[in-house]
Chains A and B, each alone.
Chain A
Amino acid sequence: MIRGSKHVLKYIAERTIVYIATIFSGVTLTYLIVKAMPVDAVENILFGMIGSVGAVYDPESVILLRKNLYEIFGIGGSPIESYLIFLRRVFTFDFGPSTIAYPTPASEIVFNRLPWTIGLLLASTLITWTVGNLLGVIAGYFKDRRFARVLEGIAITLYPIPYYIMALILIFLFAYLLRIFPLGGGLSIIPEKFDLQLVLNILWHSLLPAASLILPGALGWSFLSSRTLAMQTLTEDYTRYAEVRGLPGSYILRRYVLRNILLPQTTVLALSLGGIFGGALLTEIIFAYPGVGSIAYRAIFSGDIYTLMAVLFLSMIGVATGTYLLDLLYPLIDPRVRYR
């Protein structure tokens, strides 16, 4: 009567197909947008790169740069040809050489910085989601008490504030006024060996950037949606019946309310991934945190379009993959998905 595995396999297969299809269409859409750029604008980039101070390119390099540029922007050749070339480049992560560190390939530069960004993102998102859920449930249960109202007020203020503005405020308060935290950077000691001191130093530098990402979430979108869901769940028949059965309040909050908002909250998380990613990039820039964001900043500064494209596609794949992984978690969380 209860054999769920076949159903789950079907679900995984379905989600995987959607994942691949989404990435594909995302890449295609980007191709169309990029192809819509006027050709002389693209040419200008080339001139900008060549003419930028301190850059010395021999004629062969210029030809190479132009070739890469044209292929990435789908200029030249028949539409199908340029599309296929574009696809090949994207899926082999070949975006040409970067100009901020010529001739190192653009994708290599981005990949080098990726661990910092992923570390920051993972940690912040996890903390945001967990703390937001817990606080939301508590605030939803005690909704008439003063502290819950205060939390709601704080959340309404913090929620619309973009992560980088939060970063600016935090820098101003804690690195400038109060001088507790460092103004930026990833570490302040030379990494000779991988020991506890190094780890702590990294963590210390990550604190403010992480806080910029966590605060508008744990006391923002995550908290607010958790609270709304919790208030809804508290009026459900099964929660009321749990009270009737003499089960204590704390147990009900945990097993009946929290447990049942996990699924919709995962959906909220999946939808927010794109925004969090973008916010993380900007926050990194403000804190001079050595992640993908800082690379993107330097690329913008020197007009390095190759690196920017690498960042774009890497983030697209990253966000899509993150959403996909979250999708795969659904059967684990909700038995209604696991079993027919």
Chain B
Amino acid sequence: MEPSLITENLKAGYKLSTMEFQKEVEIYVDAVSGVSLTLGRNEIFGIAGESGCGKSTLIKVIYGYYEPSLILRDGSVRLYGRKGEEFDIVKLDRIRLQRDVWWKHISYIPQSSMNILNPTMRIRDHFAEILKIHRGMEKDEAYREAGKYLESMGLPIDALSAFPHQLSGGMRQRVVIALALLLEPSLVLADEPSSALDVINQKVVLTLLREKQEELKNTVVIVSHDMGVHGVLSDRMAIMYAGKIVEICDTTEIFWKPLHPYTKALIESLPRLGDKSKRIGLGGAPPDLRNPPPGCRFHPRCPYVMPVCSKADPPLREVKNNRYAACWLYSETVEAI
């Protein structure tokens, strides 16, 4: 498989200062602990996990967008453009990323589109500015291209001269998706693309994403806590827990035969048509990432816990054909010692 993105052993987290016993101390919250992924072209890759598992941080690190408190401890991110260009995201500085990589080869769809567009700019200017700055187009040409583009996305021409506050939430999200796909990047990161919408708009947005991916044949990463979204969109999936990837495989396999105990619990908690039995949730809570538990981070809640689990962290290993799981149930215990 020709890769579009390779991350190796990514370690990142937040440096925060808090008050502890009247003194200011600096603590490190471990948000992404050694994530290695390889994504291929022409696939929709899903990342699932509960809130706080680190998926949003992972996205930011892949993108290369660092806020003041987010630091990268280790690892590499390599992005491959449509024509095979290679970008070492971790090593590039902000200026180069802005100029050469962002939006052209990788783009980002944020979670909520409520306040994501400039209130004093019309929609057509949002598109035009990208074309002007990234493609060097003149204003009139940019407007024409924007018009054609919106039509091809199935969005009404009226929307072009509107201001963001005049559009409905669903329409705004579609505009945002259109913006993200405008320069046809090889990798698109979508963070909870439908969570803030009502069911009708959810369907519209998800359908749009699927159709566009089939058309452009790029790589789309869908981050969502909603397994239903993954069921509809994702070809392959990764399950994340407490900053670590615990399972990677085809979506259908995950639903039918999850390997990792956490995935099992996730799947089991989903309602099924016709099955009226009581859904059992998982006891306990995700660990405090300022002080993660030793060994496997899931072991305090795991129904299959073994002695080795509290001593050593299981590596992500290929269990079967292209199925990866990080669990001592599937690795030789010998390797743990």
Is there a contact between chains A and B in the complex with CB atoms less than 8 Å apart? yes
Is the CB–CB distance between A236 and B115 below 8 Å? yes
Q: How far is the CB of B58 from chain A (nearest CB, A)?
A: 16
Other-chain contact of B102, A2, A245, A255, A335 (Cβ < 8 Å): A245
Q: Complex: how many Å from CA A234 to CA B286?
A: 33
Knowing A241-B110, A244-B102, A248-B98, say if A255 contacts B118 (CB, 8 Å): yes
Q: How far is the CB of A339 from chain B (nearest CB, A)?
A: 6
A334 CB within 8 Å of chain B: yes
Q: How far is the CB of B89 from chain A (nearest CB, A)?
A: 13
Q: Complex: how many Å from CA A244 to CA B116?
A: 11
A238 CB within 8 Å of chain B: yes
Knowing A251-B133, A336-B165, A339-B163, say if A245 contacts B117 (CB, 8 Å): no
Residues of B within 8 A of A243 (CB): 65, 98
Q: How far is the CB of B174 from chain A (nearest CB, A)?
A: 16
Q: Complex: how many Å from CA A1 to CA B110?
A: 27
Knowing A236-B115, A241-B110, say if A260 contacts B120 (CB, 8 Å): yes
Residues of A within 8 A of B115 (CB): 236-238
Residues of B within 8 A of A236 (CB): 115
A242 CB within 8 Å of chain B: yes
The interface bits of chain B over 127-170 (1 if a CB of A lies within 8 angstroms of the residue's CB, else 0) are: 00110011000000000000000000000001001110110000
Chain A residue with Cβ nearest B63: A244
Is the CB–CB distance between A339 and B166 below 8 Å? yes
Residues of A within 8 A of B102 (CB): 244-246
- Residues from 48 to 77 in B contacting A, C-beta threshold 8 Å: 63, 65
Q: How far is the CB of A269 from chain B (nearest CB, A)?
A: 18
Is the CB–CB distance between B162 and A237 below 8 Å? no
Is the CB–CB distance between B161 and A255 below 8 Å? no
B103 CB within 8 Å of chain A: yes
Q: Complex: how many Å from CA A241 to CA B108?
A: 9
Other-chain contact of B65, A242, A244, A248, A335 (Cβ < 8 Å): A244
Residues of A within 8 A of B130 (CB): 245, 247
Q: Complex: how many Å from CA A237 to CA B108?
A: 13
Chain B residue with Cβ nearest A241: B116
Q: Complex: how many Å from CA A320 to CA B324?
A: 73
Q: Complex: how many Å from CA A240 to CA B129?
A: 16
Is the CB–CB distance between A246 and B161 below 8 Å? no
B114 CB within 8 Å of chain A: yes
Q: Complex: how many Å from CA A255 to CA B129?
A: 10
Other-chain contact of A246, B110, B119, B134, B163 (Cβ < 8 Å): B134
Q: How far is the CB of B136 from chain A (nearest CB, A)?
A: 13
Is the CB–CB distance between A246 and B120 below 8 Å? no
Residues of A within 8 A of B119 (CB): 238, 260, 334-336
Is the CB–CB distance between A237 and B133 below 8 Å? no
Chain A residue with Cβ nearest B108: A244
Knowing A237-B115, A244-B102, A246-B134, say if A259 contacts B120 (CB, 8 Å): yes
Other-chain contact of A242, B118, B162, B166 (Cβ < 8 Å): B118
Q: Complex: how many Å from CA A1 to CA B123?
A: 14
Is the CB–CB distance between A256 and B118 below 8 Å? yes
Q: Complex: how many Å from CA A1 to CA B65?
A: 37
Residues of A within 8 A of B166 (CB): 1-2, 339-340
Is the CB–CB distance between B121 and A246 below 8 Å? no
Q: Complex: how many Å from CA A242 to CA B99?
A: 13
The interface bits of chain B over 160-190 (1 if a CB of A lies within 8 angstroms of the residue's CB, else 0) are: 0111011000000000000100000000000
Q: Total contacts A to B, CB within 8 angstroms?
A: 77
Residues of A within 8 A of B107 (CB): 245
The interface bits of chain B over 254-289 (1 if a CB of A lies within 8 angstroms of the residue's CB, else 0) are: 000000000000000000000000000000000000
Is the CB–CB distance between B165 and A247 below 8 Å? no
Q: Complex: how many Å from CA A251 to CA B118?
A: 13
Is the CB–CB distance between B165 and A237 below 8 Å? no
Q: How far is the CB of A305 from chain B (nearest CB, A)?
A: 49
Other-chain contact of B98, A2, A247, A334 (Cβ < 8 Å): A247
- Residues from 17 to 33 in B contacting A, C-beta threshold 8 Å: none
B104 CB within 8 Å of chain A: yes
B249 CB within 8 Å of chain A: no
Other-chain contact of B104, A2, A237, A246 (Cβ < 8 Å): A246
Among B120, B121, B162, residue most surrounded by chain A Cβ atoms (within 10 Å)? B120
Knowing A246-B102, A246-B134, say if A335 contacts B120 (CB, 8 Å): yes
Residues of A within 8 A of B65 (CB): 243-244
The interface bits of chain A over 157-191 (1 if a CB of B lies within 8 angstroms of the residue's CB, else 0) are: 00000000000000000000000000000000000
Other-chain contact of B163, A238, A245, A248, A335 (Cβ < 8 Å): A335
Q: Complex: how many Å from CA A242 to CA B97?
A: 13
Is the CB–CB distance between B98 and A238 below 8 Å? no
Is the CB–CB distance between B97 and A246 below 8 Å? yes
Is the CB–CB distance between A245 and B103 below 8 Å? yes
Residues of B within 8 A of A334 (CB): 119-120
The interface bits of chain B over 78-105 (1 if a CB of A lies within 8 angstroms of the residue's CB, else 0) are: 0000000000000000000111011110
Is the CB–CB distance between B63 and A248 below 8 Å? no
Residues of B within 8 A of A259 (CB): 118, 120-121
Chain B residue with Cβ nearest A340: B166
Knowing A244-B102, A245-B179, say if A260 contacts B158 (CB, 8 Å): no
Knowing A238-B117, A241-B110, A241-B116, say if A2 contacts B161 (CB, 8 Å): yes
Residues of B within 8 A of A336 (CB): 119, 163, 165
Among B98, B108, B114, B130, residue most surrounded by chain A Cβ atoms (within 10 Å)? B98
The 7 listed contacts between A and B (C-beta, < 8 Å) are: A2-B158, A237-B116, A238-B116, A243-B98, A244-B108, A244-B110, A335-B119
Other than the known A245-B130, A334-B120, A335-B165, what 6 A-B pairs have Cβ atoms closer than 8 Å? A1-B158, A237-B112, A246-B133, A248-B98, A248-B133, A335-B122
Residues of B within 8 A of A (CB): 63, 65, 97-99, 101-104, 107-108, 110, 112, 114-122, 129-130, 133-134, 158, 161-163, 165-166, 179
**Shortest Cβ-Cβ A-B pairs, 8 listed:** A246-B102, A237-B115, A335-B163, A246-B103, A246-B98, A259-B120, A241-B116, A238-B118
